[in-house]
Amino acid sequence: MKQESYDIYIGHALTRASDAFKERVTVFKAELAKRRIHWNILRFFGLGPSPKDGAIYTFDISQVKRAHLVVIICDEESLGAGQESGVALEGEIKVPVLFVAHRDWERTRMVTGPAEVYPNRVLFRRYKDMSEIEGFIEEAIAYFEAKLGMSLLDYKYRQLHSLDQVRILNPGFMQEAPIYAGTPDPKKVWDELAEIERKNPVLAGRLL
């Protein structure tokens, strides 16, 4: 049986996160990528030397929009991860979101609430050990596909196709609603950042 290839974006605290948390997440993501070779764990720009802030924002948001599933690890506070989940939930391209947190994490309703508002596109789960998140991702994919009545790949394709039709059939609309006109081209952003990495080898280890 063929396994679908999903693009999965895992967002979490970084700038103000503890070293211990960052280490746990780094290990988890690396092990996940090894075990689930059919899951493409999308990267985002890390800490340290980097291009302009606007390039970082554009790249990370383009990765969120590219994803079939966004996973937000909520254990430590992150304005960036909050923005990313907002883009996934409310943007022109909707992306299902799985929020996860340690069982001792103090609840915030801005994380637990979306599952009540968007039951077809949001799940919230608590874990004892971070390794459990892998099973939650598998559960989330099956859950969202059952709720949506189609694969997550088809869900993304249909949304992109609909936006393309809007652009083709209603060119004037794009100027009236500029939010639809500024969707970053992931390939272009990737090429720009690859060139930055080529010129600045120190960045080689900064893409997580």
Query: Is 80 exceeded by the pLDDT of residue 20?
Result: yes
Query: Is 70 exceeded by the pLDDT of residue 15?
Result: yes
Query: Is 60 exceeded by the pLDDT of residue 169?
Result: no
pLDDT of residue 105: 87
pLDDT of residue 1: 40
Summary count for the chain: helices (H), strands (E): 9, 5
pLDDT (average), residues 113-138: 95
pLDDT (average), residues 91-109: 91
pTM of the full structure: 0.77
Q: Which of 64-73, 142-151, 196-205 has the lowest mean pLDDT?
A: 196-205
Q: Which of 54, 7, 40, 46 is nearest to 26 (CA)?
A: 46
Q: What is the DSSP string of 130-166?
A: GGGHHHHHHHHHHHHHHHHTS-HHHHHHHHHHHHHHH
pLDDT of residue 45: 76
pLDDT of residue 200: 55
Instruction: Give percent of the chain above pLDDT 90.
Output: 55
Instruction: For the chain, give the mean pLDDT.
Output: 82
Residue 8 is which amino acid?
I
pLDDT of residue 194: 57
pLDDT of residue 177: 47
Distance CA(198)–CA(117), nearest Å, equals: 44
